[in-house]
Amino acid sequence: MLVVMKADATAREVSDIIGVIENLGFRAHPMPGATRTAIGITGNQGAVDPSHFENMPGVAEAIRVTKPYKLITLDLSPDRTIVRVGDATIGGDELALIAGPCAIESHAQAFAVAAAVSRSGARFFRGGAFKPRTSPYAFQGLGIEGLKILAEVREVYGLKIVTEALDEQGIDEVERYADMIQIGARNMHNFSLLRRAGRSHLPVLLKRGWAATLDEWLLAAEYIMVEGNYQVVLCERGVRTFAQHTRNTLDLAAVPAVRQISHLPVVIDPSHGTGKNFMVTPLARAGVAVGADGLLVEVHNRPEHALSDGAQSLTLEQYEQMVEDVIMIHKVMVPMVCLS
Amino acid sequence: MLVVMKADATAREVSDIIGVIENLGFRAHPMPGATRTAIGITGNQGAVDPSHFENMPGVAEAIRVTKPYKLITLDLSPDRTIVRVGDATIGGDELALIAGPCAIESHAQAFAVAAAVSRSGARFFRGGAFKPRTSPYAFQGLGIEGLKILAEVREVYGLKIVTEALDEQGIDEVERYADMIQIGARNMHNFSLLRRAGRSHLPVLLKRGWAATLDEWLLAAEYIMVEGNYQVVLCERGVRTFAQHTRNTLDLAAVPAVRQISHLPVVIDPSHGTGKNFMVTPLARAGVAVGADGLLVEVHNRPEHALSDGAQSLTLEQYEQMVEDVIMIHKVMVPMVCLS
Amino acid sequence: MLVVMKADATAREVSDIIGVIENLGFRAHPMPGATRTAIGITGNQGAVDPSHFENMPGVAEAIRVTKPYKLITLDLSPDRTIVRVGDATIGGDELALIAGPCAIESHAQAFAVAAAVSRSGARFFRGGAFKPRTSPYAFQGLGIEGLKILAEVREVYGLKIVTEALDEQGIDEVERYADMIQIGARNMHNFSLLRRAGRSHLPVLLKRGWAATLDEWLLAAEYIMVEGNYQVVLCERGVRTFAQHTRNTLDLAAVPAVRQISHLPVVIDPSHGTGKNFMVTPLARAGVAVGADGLLVEVHNRPEHALSDGAQSLTLEQYEQMVEDVIMIHKVMVPMVCLS
Amino acid sequence: MLVVMKADATAREVSDIIGVIENLGFRAHPMPGATRTAIGITGNQGAVDPSHFENMPGVAEAIRVTKPYKLITLDLSPDRTIVRVGDATIGGDELALIAGPCAIESHAQAFAVAAAVSRSGARFFRGGAFKPRTSPYAFQGLGIEGLKILAEVREVYGLKIVTEALDEQGIDEVERYADMIQIGARNMHNFSLLRRAGRSHLPVLLKRGWAATLDEWLLAAEYIMVEGNYQVVLCERGVRTFAQHTRNTLDLAAVPAVRQISHLPVVIDPSHGTGKNFMVTPLARAGVAVGADGLLVEVHNRPEHALSDGAQSLTLEQYEQMVEDVIMIHKVMVPMVCLS
């Protein structure tokens, strides 16, 4: 914490601040400058709350210095985390492909898509059984019925199942039928749900909220890890901006930003990240080129009949083409990524 | 829904679209223009999913026309809703003042603030027992202990208690001790929580998510109402933008925007809406002048020692001055608001 | 400037930073903390460029402390500036009303609106002769012809004329016919235009760019003032956000934010700030209640036939009602504002 | 244009709207629906102004359908534009590399960077002589002196010179010394400057404003083209969002978005798009993978001594590595891009 005094702050005001700092058990470092004094604070273990100082007389600003995270940092664990889901991995040398329909709609639909996903070499199948929908009148998913279909897909194709839970009871059900719990963007700040996921034996795919800062996203991961579950994969899925040519603005710079701070793997969702079918493949290629550990992609056998997110789903043919493209890029990337 | 064809769409592509529309059981209205054809859709009861059309050959764009809400609209209920909390109201002629500390920290703190709130003529006391905090290492509230202090405040001062619930179990507890359930900004899209609030006998204060569109906010209210609880108060608390001189950008235009569509009352939170002590009173005045039904304000007896949100809390003296100011504005507003 | 070192920075890296600071002629203040060292910099006259340090080995972050402005600050001029336009003022006790059509379309239109503006007691008439339009195919204003009509309005009604200039030559023309130069939101970063306005004898109304931070806006004023023209009025007109229920999100917190730093007057434009006719009056009331020095409002005698911005223009009747409303609020505000 | 009536609109209100449409010379297509009537408009050549209808009684909304651009569209010119700058091209099969320092600071600096740029195989050298700076107290560029250094670089290395002009007089100078005019993000809405660039014989690099929608950016290109200069290259350089881990949020989806509408080439600026040295190469790779026609990159021989933008400049070594990386990706991209 750095407390910056106003140009006209009195010596008394400066010494009052120093008093408060010392009362909190910290050490104060006053630095008188040409036009104003700044006071550094050391001795704190975590972040100091700026509000201790912001409204005191003579204070212009209180600036945070210490970062508030612990478990997600490279400081703690300099090696990259490799999340293991059975014999499949996210965060290692292989590009993790997680593909499937937005929502499980029927046995036939799930199996048609799963066959193509399996054929493409992907190891993960995604599909929603519990769907968070903006409108209460929209299709809300098949629920347990959907989870059972997913479990059958797992059995038949050997794909690892990634599916979303919306509440604590939902995690109980997902644990019964699936391999990885997805926490959706709308729930990134649902701390009760994060803590429950932190007590699960399953790995967690944590989507970034659409208006979450990097710090907030990493602290959401910290909420899961603090309960003991260190198997967390971050997923960038676009943020909300003024731009209207896409459903969200995919923030690919989040990948190098996470890499510099955290050991956790990070994947890209170009489907929600754009919301438009014709943009998914170009942004999937970009996601691999920026250095992501994997992709989360929506695929549907008949997008024009999809009960949700049809506009952004790839057809089976488009999906197969996309996989070919991204694998070619991943191949030339491997030596580069090692350098970074 | 309006489907706009590309300039070079063929007659065949147009008739394919018409076929899909008719298969869905709707009526198609083709309008051939100078450069392109547009096809209107009627006969649908709710919103039509644009993804049925967006990726079909020859389609340039599918534009939503029908709004997706039912219960919140003035169409349904042309009279403004007045939410009753015992003998106090939100949405009527009186300005609803909801004030108190961000978090209940102790009996002494709660009673010191409650005394001032009661003296000011406010009818509602707010204070958090369960605190949603970005960091798992920050103060998380006193829990049930905090609720018990709130219940004592109610008994001693006759103030109505407004407090936040973070999960379904939290609502059980809030129902036991308080008068109104607050759903926080981070939980505006927690649909399980919204549905549970919809089954409560207590009225609900629904804060807008910091990146929620007007539609999403109103549909969150719809989630509550569809379960049978029509006692919903909307609360604008600022949205997240590029601007850094405030914690959030308070979107006061949300008040006339809500008024034009919905019968629900709407209040303003200038504390979270700005995040800075010195901005709270000016924005509280503006909130009343724009026509809000009330204010939600953070007050603390010793803001510099607050365990959360100290930087934006008013002192007791500042709070009393603010109440004087907003009441004067509310008085001159009364005849104007009637006109709107 | 505060340079924060990484947790694992070596003593050598710290001393290298100190060396660079001293080479720049500044003084270094190392503060060793429990987990990392921070180094304060003093002795600099203006802002230090963080890029001197950000990429040096061992550096985690370089944080700006000194603010980059000089002439706009209260430090320099503790008294509020009152901008004088002939015998009218902006920034004093009176509420400045600046009203008129978006674009001057004809003599008849300008005079119909001017008559109502004059009747309302406003002292300023606004109207565009040179219109910045997103599309080159949209109406671009009457040019010199429009300026001549404005000059006639001035003569007949005694109103002060505020009109926009788009380029340096445009300022020559505006100086010939008008009383105050408007710099539009799109040109807030057109530094050649700002410098030219700084060499004018006319006062300047400087609109905030729709994605300008507070610092950028104040520095744009600084560009004008550094050339010698201190008669600058700031105008908040809404910023661009994800929200779609308004054309822009009016950032009323900009008023107290400016007040705390600068002596310059600030006015609110609720017309561009909302883009919707029915929102203009509520937000005009809020603008006065937040403490603005005036309002800039679009009025048209026949909005449904306006060549630009019809959707947000008030009718003459609506305008007259708005003036009554805001004057009542301004009256009760006067004693409050003195307190702030 | 589609005019959507309110649910309770009267038959009279509907027929009034039809009257206004017909008076404007257009054709009205009323579509009575189950709950409300919508009225389509055809017969218009360009976009209809929604404000003709938005405030008329009974109207809920007026929705734009026709797009406002002409010259930039694929409708007009289905073949991609290849911009020729002497014997170099942007928009063809080759990846265009435009590299150099943010600002020309000295002969020695320019030549040190130019040698590396030339060695890398790039055809374009960028460097600012006139610098738009947020603060009037920051380094503003060497002016004509800088242009002369650029002309020497051209002579010695055969590189094409790309440099920014800030005003009409600046374009006169740039035409004298350089090969391509850059219009910066701050000037994307400076219509006088755009028109002047449209009368130049030099090609134009048009940066997207940091809060410009796709439509606004394309219409800025239209302003240039309408004056007769069709040699326009679009440059995405990041948009301003709430995110703080980057200087801007690079919107790579702009590439497929532009491709679907326009024949103009589009390049990516990962330097301004991120503002952080360590993010430039990953985002440069992503820019190529998404399908951009080229890159605009800041390189400096001594970034820690740069007079502007040092934090985001690559060193010469980093730049050389980046070129190797992006060329490998471009090679595997060639067959894919042909498919899109």
Q: Is residue A117 predicted with pLDDT exceeding 90?
A: yes
Lowest mean pLDDT among A261-265, C27-31, D63-67: D63-67
Does the distance separating the beta carbons of A187 and B310 come in below 8 Å? no
**Per-residue model confidence (pLDDT) at position B21:** 87
Does the distance separating the beta carbons of A50 and B136 come in below 8 Å? no
Burial C101-124 (b: 16+ CB within 10 A, else e): bbbbbeeebbbbbbebbbebebbb
Mean pLDDT across C108-128: 97
Chain D: residues touching A (Cβ < 8 Å): 211, 213-214, 239, 241-246, 249-257, 260, 273-274, 276, 278-279, 281-283, 285-291, 321, 325, 328-329, 331-333, 336, 339-340
Return the percentage of chain B with pLDDT > 70, whole number: 97
Distance in Å, alpha carbon of A10 to nearest chain C alpha carbon: 14
Lowest mean pLDDT among A57-71, A168-182, D249-263: A57-71
* Any domain includes D75: no
Q: Is residue A70 predicted with pLDDT exceeding 90?
A: no
SS3 string, chain C, reads CEEEECCCCCHHHHHHHHHHHHHCCCEEEEEECCCCEEEEEECCCCCCCHHHCCCCCCEEEEECCCCCCCCCECCCCCCCCCEEECCEEECCCCCEEEEECCECCCHHHHHHHHHHHHHCCCCEEECECCCCCCCCCCCCCCCHHHHHHHHHHHHHHCCEEEEECCCHHHHHHHHHHCCEEEECHHHCCCHHHHHHHHCCCCCEEEECCCCCCHHHHHHHHHHHHCCCCCCEEEEECCECCCCCCCCCECCCCHHHHHHHHECCCEEECHHHHHCCHHHHHHHHHHHHHHCCCEEEEEECCCHHHCCCCHHHCECHHHHHHHHHHHHHHHHHHHHHHHHC
Q: Is residue C55 predicted with pLDDT exceeding 70?
A: yes
Distance in Å, alpha carbon of C197 to nearest chain A alpha carbon: 30
Lowest mean pLDDT among B162-176, C250-264, D24-38: D24-38
A267 forms beta bridges with: A235, A294
Q: Do C88 and C59 reside in the same domain of the chain?
A: no
Which of these three, C63, C93, C110, is where a domain ends? Answer: C63
A273 vs D contacts (CB less than 8 Å): 253
**Per-residue model confidence (pLDDT) at position B337:** 62
- pLDDT digit string, tens, across residues A284-301: 999 999 999 999 999 999
**Per-residue model confidence (pLDDT) at position B49:** 75
pLDDT averaged over chain D? Answer: 92
Q: Is residue B339 predicted with pLDDT exceeding 50?
A: no
Nearest CA in chain D to A243: D213
Residue A340 — pLDDT band, cuts 50, 70, 90?
Answer: very low
pLDDT averaged over chain B? Answer: 92
Q: Is residue C340 predicted with pLDDT exceeding 70?
A: no
Does the distance separating the beta carbons of C210 and D211 come in below 8 Å? yes
Question: Does C305 or A323 have the greater pLDDT score?
Answer: A323
Question: Does C66 or B228 have the greater pLDDT score?
Answer: B228
Element (H, E) at B123: none
**Per-residue model confidence (pLDDT) at position D240:** 97
Does the distance separating the beta carbons of A65 and C42 come in below 8 Å? no
Q: Do A57 and A89 reside in the same domain of the chain?
A: no
Please state, in angstroms and rounded to a whole number, the distance separating the CA atoms of residues A126 and A97. Answer: 10
Residue A77 — pLDDT band, cuts 50, 70, 90?
Answer: confident
Q: What are phi and psi of A84, to 5 degrees?
A: -105, 130
Enclosing domain of residue B41: 2-63
Question: Does D273 or D310 have the greater pLDDT score?
Answer: D273
Residue A1 — pLDDT band, cuts 50, 70, 90?
Answer: confident
Q: Is residue B35 predicted with pLDDT exceeding 90?
A: no
Mean pLDDT across B285-304: 96
**Per-residue model confidence (pLDDT) at position B50:** 75
Which of these three, D63, D92, D113, is where a domain ends? Answer: D63
Q: Is residue B90 predicted with pLDDT exceeding 60?
A: yes
A197 vs B contacts (CB less than 8 Å): none
CATH (domain of C90)? 3.20.20.70
Nearest to B52 among A20, A52, A310 (CB): A310
Lowest mean pLDDT among A108-117, A192-201, A331-340, C222-231: A331-340
Q: Which residues contact B255 (CB under 8 A, 6 or more apart)?
A: B236, B266, B268, B287, B290, B291, B292, C282
Does the distance separating the beta carbons of C213 and B243 come in below 8 Å? yes
Please state, in angstroms and rounded to a whole number, the distance separating the CA atoms of residues B286 and D263. Answer: 48
Chain B: residues touching C (Cβ < 8 Å): 211, 213-214, 239, 241-246, 249-257, 260, 273-274, 276, 278-279, 281-283, 285-291, 321, 325, 328-329, 331-333, 336, 339-340
Nearest to B329 among C257, C287, C332 (CB): C332
The total number of structural domains in chain D stands at 2
Please state, in angstroms and rounded to a whole number, the distance separating the CA atoms of residues C49 and C64. Answer: 8
For an interface test with C, which of B251, B290, B320 has the most C Cβ atoms less than 10 Å from its Cβ? Answer: B290
* Any domain includes D68: no
Does the distance separating the beta carbons of B54 and A277 come in below 8 Å? yes
Q: Do A168 and A309 reside in the same domain of the chain?
A: yes
pLDDT averaged over chain C? Answer: 92
Residue D45 — pLDDT band, cuts 50, 70, 90?
Answer: low
Mean pLDDT across B273-278: 95
Does the distance separating the beta carbons of D44 and B42 come in below 8 Å? no
- pLDDT digit string, tens, across residues C262-306: 999 999 999 999 999 999 999 999 999 999 999 999 999 998 778
Q: Do D30 and D158 reside in the same domain of the chain?
A: no
* Any domain includes C75: no
Does the distance separating the beta carbons of B189 and A186 come in below 8 Å? yes
Residue B327 — pLDDT band, cuts 50, 70, 90?
Answer: very high
- pLDDT digit string, tens, across residues A216-242: 999 999 999 999 999 999 999 999 999
Residue B45 — pLDDT band, cuts 50, 70, 90?
Answer: low
**Per-residue model confidence (pLDDT) at position D78:** 81
Nearest CA in chain C to A32: C42
**Per-residue model confidence (pLDDT) at position C339:** 43
**Per-residue model confidence (pLDDT) at position A154:** 98
B38 vs D contacts (CB less than 8 Å): 2, 40, 42, 65
Nearest to C257 among B213, B246, B251 (CB): B246
Q: Do D95 and D54 reside in the same domain of the chain?
A: no
Nearest to B51 among A46, A170, A306 (CB): A306
Q: Do A33 and A90 reside in the same domain of the chain?
A: no
A234 forms beta bridges with: A206, A266
Does the distance separating the beta carbons of B290 and C290 come in below 8 Å? no
- pLDDT digit string, tens, across residues A189-207: 999 999 999 999 999 999 9
Lowest mean pLDDT among A251-265, B128-142, C184-198: B128-142
Q: Do C233 and C279 reside in the same domain of the chain?
A: yes
Q: Is residue C45 predicted with pLDDT exceeding 70?
A: no
Mean pLDDT across B18-25: 86
A–C: how many Cβ contacts below 8 A? 63
**Residue C269 burial by Cβ neighbours in a 10 Å radius (0-12, 13-18, 19+):** buried
Nearest CA in chain D to C226: D136
Lowest mean pLDDT among A136-140, D114-118, D144-148, D261-265: A136-140
Q: Do D51 and D104 reside in the same domain of the chain?
A: no
C274 vs B contacts (CB less than 8 Å): 253, 256
Rounded CA Rg of chain D: 23
Mean pLDDT across B256-274: 96
CB A184 within 8 A of CB A207: yes
CATH (domain of C46)? 3.30.70.1140
* Any domain includes B106: yes
Question: Does C333 or B204 have the greater pLDDT score?
Answer: B204
Which chains are adjacent to chain A, needing at least 3 Cβ pairs under 8 Å? B, C, D
Distance in Å, alpha carbon of D253 to nearest chain B alpha carbon: 18
Nearest CA in chain A to C34: A43
* Any domain includes C74: no
Q: Do C129 and C232 reside in the same domain of the chain?
A: yes
- pLDDT digit string, tens, across residues C61-78: 887 766 778 899 887 778
- pLDDT digit string, tens, across residues C140-169: 999 999 999 999 999 999 999 999 999 999
Q: Do B169 and B24 reside in the same domain of the chain?
A: no
* Any domain includes C165: yes
Q: Do B199 and B105 reside in the same domain of the chain?
A: yes
Lowest mean pLDDT among A30-44, A258-272, C113-127, C207-221: A30-44
* Any domain includes C114: yes
Q: Do B111 and B251 reside in the same domain of the chain?
A: yes
Element (H, E) at D333: helix D316-339
A170 vs B contacts (CB less than 8 Å): 192
Nearest to A49 among B55, B215, B310 (CB): B310
Residue A339 — pLDDT band, cuts 50, 70, 90?
Answer: very low
Question: Does D68 or B325 have the greater pLDDT score?
Answer: B325
Residue C311 — pLDDT band, cuts 50, 70, 90?
Answer: confident
* Any domain includes C69: no
